[in-house]
Chain A
Amino acid sequence: MERKFWLSTLATCNDAHLISLWKKFGIEVNFTWLRKPEIGSIMCQGKIGVTGNNFNFGEVTITRCQLKTSQGKIGHGYVQGRNKHKAEIVAICDALMQTNKKDLLIKNIINPLVVSDKNLKKDVMSKSESTAVDFFTLVRGET
């Protein structure tokens, strides 16, 4: 599993879900802050007419932090929203994913998050599919 994948999963997952999985995982990690959690934003860009020039269309709140575990691993916590506790958990997970705890973490945290996101999207798509419509065009007047 690539770092890009787990960081993406952790950044966009449901806060409460991650926090409860982490609690259940139940391990203590000693670390020092390299950067304490801070709230900020990133500017979001779009493309004019899908393929044209870029333009700015609004900001999204982001929380970030960096820490170093007692094992010497550096973890980055970048998450959507303003939940500092979530950012901390993400940074610890990122650090642990660089150790022999990786497989345990994938099984107990990353995979459940991936599954729940997939289910959510499947739910949206299948509901959307049920609203797929076939319109008929009618000729008005006499035929």
Chain B
Amino acid sequence: MYVAVKGGEKAIENAHNWLSEIRRGDVNVPNLEIEQIKEQLTLCVERVMSEGSLYDTDLAALAIKQSRGDLIEAIFLIRAYRTTLPRFGTSRPIKTEDMVCMRRISATYKDIPGKQKLGPTFDYTHRLLDFSLLAEGNIPKAEKRKVLKEKIPHVLRFLNKEGLIQKEKDNNYQPKDITRNPLEFPANRSERLQSLSRADEGFLLALAYSTQRGYARNHAFVGELRIGYVKVKYNIPELDIEIDIAEIIVTECESVNQFQGSKKTPAQFTRGYGLTFGQLERKAVSMALVDRALRWKEIGEEFVGAPAQDEEFVLSHCDNIQATGFLEHLKLPHYVDFQSELELVRRIRKEYEKNK
């Protein structure tokens, strides 16, 4: 049992004042503006929005500044703020087929309608430090080319036509919101995906990597990865008119995985799905791989005891705010609990000495 402590106000206040001073750093260096974080540390801002589960670039940038760049601390701030917001309602499902894509690639088909578009990617860079960024180097201008066709259809549709890939059916399921109703096991795939979409990127990456190394057999291909702008549609209750209430950047990944078939179904490909706020491709791909691994039962695969197959393990540990809350509380005073343990150990030792 945790027994609370009292006092320490002055020391805490002084600690926080020093924190504020140290956050500011050398006052001869210009103060970091929220706009600078928003414009120049975009991927960091997007990660905070994704794991904070709230799309608001200003707030995410503020949280990054306030937390001295500790992203989990920043996510914590966003999660705390999020709980204070009244919920006006739920959007219509976003239509990623209408996305204005910055990037869209497929690792399964070379020639696809809508083309492979690399977009602003780190892929194919040489990962060499660019010392010109130390100085104010010249920024090359992005090239532009005339767009002939605006619509970019999903790649997996083509496999679908041949019946080679399992279909995703809409059963009109009303997903429960895991921020309002505690997650129950076994969880529905909709609730699983909500949980994975706000999960810690590092945790998902490690689990996805484990599936690639053989813990749960699912060799994955990136059927499609797309990043871009989508509209969020919402029905205004007072008017009963559906409007585009927001526009957000999202990353979507559809993975394609082999399936040997069973007595009931012939061999066909199966799918994993990843969707996140912002340009978070590593996370979206990881999410798709983990989603696929968690589907072993529904697909009729064997449970081989791999961590990525274990729904309760994955979903109970993927949230970095839950994890850090429990972990970091260990730093708070535990004097009374430790005292009782100390006494217990002393007593046991005394009895041990007596019986020797």
Chain B residues with CB under 8 Å of A7's CB are 236, 241, 243
**Contact pick for B173, options A39, A46, A53, A80, CB 8 Å:** A53
B55 in contact with A48 (CB, 8 Å): no
Q: Which of B130-173 contact A (CB under 8 A)?
A: 142-147, 150, 154, 156, 167-173
Min distance, Cβ B276 to any Cβ of chain A, angstroms? 8
Q: Which of A1-23 contact B (CB under 8 A)?
A: 3-4, 7-8, 11-12
Say whether A68 faces chain B, with CB atoms less than 8 Å apart. no
**Contact pick for A127, options B49, B110, B143, CB 8 Å:** B143
Say whether B47 faces chain A, with CB atoms less than 8 Å apart. no
A82 in contact with B58 (CB, 8 Å): yes
Chain B residues with CB under 8 Å of A71's CB are none
Q: Which of A46-88 contact B (CB under 8 A)?
A: 46-62, 64, 66, 76, 78-82
Number of interface residues of B (CB under 8 A): 81
B contact residues vs A (CB 8 Å cutoff): 49-50, 53-56, 58-59, 82, 85-94, 96-97, 100-104, 110, 115-119, 142-147, 150, 154, 156, 167-175, 177-178, 189-191, 193-194, 197-198, 228-229, 231-232, 234, 236, 238-239, 241-248, 254, 271, 273, 275-277
Q: Which residue of A lies closest to B238 (CB)?
A: A76
**Contact pick for B147, options A11, A79, A129, CB 8 Å:** A129
Chain B residues with CB under 8 Å of A32's CB are none
Q: Which residue of B lies closest to A38 (CB)?
A: B86
Taking A43-B87, A53-B171 as contacts, is the C-beta distance between A58 and B50 under 8 angstroms? yes
**Contact pick for A55, options B102, B175, B231, CB 8 Å:** B175
Give the interface residue-count category, chain A: 35 or more
Min distance, Cβ B55 to any Cβ of chain A, angstroms? 4
A59 in contact with B97 (CB, 8 Å): no
**Contact pick for B86, options A12, A40, A43, CB 8 Å:** A40
Q: Which residue of A lies closest to B160 (CB)?
A: A51
